[in-house]
């Protein structure tokens, strides 16, 4: 693995525009449960309750949805070495953007600036009105639920409130998709960290980058369908690998 770490560090050294794409494998190293593993979130909740159609039509499904949001919001999750390594890439002037499938907001906490983060699946830190698109901190809505309001609605227009995440059946946010595609087309190096690359359209971004001439690196604990087209593949934990790569990058900069 040492040779691969050296190789990726060289790629970063040679690349002025680096895009990092993060998935659930980064979040799980901060203790956040994923959705699809045997002991993940879908083992305790019915995925059908998290379609946009069910949320809009079924009050009981909304109540279950809010229970999950409260569970995720109230836990004390912290960034891990992978998050901090990605923030360090920005600090040293290499990061074009970080495109994330994760909704936990930990890239912000680790130190990446707002303008560098593209949250393709939204964020659990905020809520939105489905009618007027008003945004507010999710914590404010959860306080209302704690006070007995089981099915909170927008105080401005009366529309349904939901967490500002992309539900099954809900359209991807167009502005974020445009930003992600532009960054992917324009980068020199695209690094996948902790994603199995099975959830589309987000997982199509590495292909956009590769077809535009960028090098592709995949760092994931298990294999992916795109390993064969990557310029380097490392099957290991995201945090340890990213930390080791950044150390090598810094050595080259001295």
114 & 234 share domain? yes
Max Cα–Cα distance, the chain, nearest Å:
59
195 & 249 share domain? yes
153 & 231 share domain? no
Q: Which of 83, 107, 108, 121 is catalytic?
A: 121
Return the ∠ at Cα 61 (arms to 48 and 45), rounded to 5°.
55
State residue 105's pLDDT score.
92
Give the residue from 165, 196, 228 where a domain finishes: 165
107-111, 184-188, 195-199: the lowest-pLDDT one: 195-199
Phi, psi of 154, deg, nearest 5 = -65, 130
CB 221 within 8 A of CB 235: yes
Return the ∠ at Cα 25 (arms to 171 and 51), rounded to 5°.
30
Q: Give the pLDDT band of residue 124 (cuts 50, 70, 90).
A: confident
Return the ∠ at Cα 184 (arms to 181 and 187), rounded to 5°.
145
Structure token pair of residue 91:
């600090």
Whose CA is closest to 19, among 200, 181, 249?
181
State residue 41's pLDDT score.
61
Does residue 34 have a pLDDT over 90? no
Domain of 86 in residue numbering reads as 1-31+78-121+172-254
What's the average model confidence in pLDDT over 109-133?
Answer: 95
- Count of the separate structural domains present in the chain: 2
70 & 127 share domain? yes
pTM for this model (two decimals): 0.91
CB 73 within 8 A of CB 32: no
19: domain CATH number? 3.40.50.1220
Q: How many CA atoms lie within 13 A of 221 on its CB side?
A: 12
- Quote the DSSP letter at residue 172: P
Is residue 121 part of the annotated active site? The answer reads: yes
What's the average model confidence in pLDDT over 193-198?
Answer: 94
- Quote the DSSP letter at residue 140: H
Structure token pair of residue 122:
């939204």
Return the ∠ at Cα 50 (arms to 144 and 72), rounded to 5°.
50
206 & 233 share domain? yes
127 & 104 share domain? no
15 & 95 share domain? yes
Give tens-digit pLDDT for 149-183: 989 999 999 999 999 999 888 889 999 999 999 99
Give tens-digit pLDDT for 203-215: 999 999 999 999 9
Q: Are strands 122-129 and 161-165 parallel, antiparallel or unpaired?
A: antiparallel
Give the residue from 165, 198, 233 where a domain finishes: 165
Q: Over the chain, what is the mean pLDDT? A: 91
Give the residue from 147, 165, 183 where a domain finishes: 165
Handedness of CA 195, 199, 201, 206 (dihedral sign): positive
Give tens-digit pLDDT for 214-248: 999 999 999 999 999 999 999 999 999 999 999 99
147 & 176 share domain? no
- Quote the DSSP letter at residue 30: G
State residue 46's pLDDT score.
73
Task: Compute how many other C-beta atoms are within 10 angstroms of the C-beta atom of residue 1.
Answer: 11
210 & 253 share domain? yes
State residue 131's pLDDT score.
96
146: domain CATH number? 3.30.1600.10
Q: Give the bridge partners for 129, in sequence order.
A: 161
83 & 19 share domain? yes
8 & 44 share domain? no
Better pLDDT: 33 or 93: 93
Give tens-digit pLDDT for 126-139: 999 999 999 999 99
41 & 19 share domain? no
Task: Compute how many other C-beta atoms are within 10 angstroms of the C-beta atom of residue 159.
Answer: 16
């Amino acid at each position: 693995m040492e040779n691969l770490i050296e190789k990726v560090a060289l790629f970063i050294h040679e690349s002025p525009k680096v895009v990092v794409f993060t998935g659930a494998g980064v979040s799980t190293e901060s203790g956040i449960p994923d959705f699809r593993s045997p002991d993940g979130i879908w083992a305790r909740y019915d995925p059908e309750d998290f379609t946009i159609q069910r949320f809009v039509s079924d009050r009981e499904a909304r109540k279950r949805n809010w229970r999950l949001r409260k569970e995720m919001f109230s836990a004390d999750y912290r960034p891990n070495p992978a998050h901090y390594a990605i923030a360090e890439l920005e600090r040293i002037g290499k990061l074009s953007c970080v495109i994330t499938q994760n909704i936990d907001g930990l890239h912000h906490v680790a130190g990446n600036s707002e303008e560098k983060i593209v949250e393709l699946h939204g964020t659990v830190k905020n809520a939105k009105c489905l009618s007027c698109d008003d945004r507010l901190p999710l914590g404010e809505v959860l306080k209302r639920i704690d006070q007995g309001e089981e099915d909170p609605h927008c105080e401005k227009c009366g529309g349904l409130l939901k967490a500002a995440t992309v539900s099954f059946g809900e359209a991807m946010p167009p502005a974020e998709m445009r930003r992600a595609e532009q960054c992917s087309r324009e980068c020199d190096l695209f690094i996948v960290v902790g994603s199995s690359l099975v959830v589309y359209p987000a997982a199509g971004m590495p292909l956009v980058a590769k077809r535009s001439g960028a090098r592709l690196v995949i760092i994931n604990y298990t294999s992916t369908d795109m390993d064969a087209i990557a310029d380097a593949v490392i099957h290991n934990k995201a945090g340890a690998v990213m930390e080791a790569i950044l150390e090598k990058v810094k050595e080259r900069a001295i």
